[in-house]
A and B are shown apart, each in its own frame.
Chain A
């Protein structure tokens, strides 16, 4: 049973560019959440997708956007990259129907903006 798969594992981008990160949820999960983890910090919630719609959003600017596809996979897009966007981006999946559930996290994408 495959867990959460994220691609790519590492990425280097130049300031001002745009980036797309991808996530395939754990088999049977229908909800995907994205987190940003700066070095030495805990993860911070970016947004969550369910039924192909953004359901909740954290305190992140509109430069951060996402999408969920019919097969439940998801993309995170960041436009006009800033040096401060350098971080580990984590995708987590869960099943909406199960209340009080935990998340399954992927191994993350390490984004470096230079």
Chain B
């Protein structure tokens, strides 16, 4: 079963706009990770945030984590057409990169 849900399920924006995706989860975690998947192929790791961190940045990505609400958000600034993909959050309860529990994903479409 999935750990949680991502919101929205689908998002369509224009190039240059910001995209925000939200993730909720159910159990205590060691860290939360975001992955990107293009056209149903392999997952690409984007960013990892530990349970004692509240915010993390990597290039155009900004991730927040609120463990009291069991939620996280991924912000992509100045979106590009190449950002078109599905985005998944995954929780790691043990910190061992084992048994990641994924959300249902957000499909992002960035149009020119």
Contacts and interface: CB of A to CB of B under 8 A. Distances in A.
Interface in B34-55: 35, 40-45, 48, 50
User: What band does the interface of chain B fall in when counting residues whose beta carbon is under 8 Å from A?
Assistant: 20 to 34
B2 interface: yes
Contact of A108 (B42, B101, B102): B42
B45 A104 contact: yes
A33 to B, nearest CB: 6
A105 interface: yes
A31, A45, A58, A100, most chain B CB atoms within 10 A: A100
A92 B35 CA distance: 12
Contact of A31 (B1, B50, B98, B100): B98
Interface residues of A, number: 32
B18 to A, nearest CB: 24
A96 interface: yes
Interface of A: 4, 31, 33, 35, 37, 39, 41-45, 48, 55-56, 58-59, 88, 90, 92, 94, 96, 99-108, 110
Interface of B: 1-2, 30-31, 33, 35, 40-45, 48, 50, 88, 90, 92, 95-105
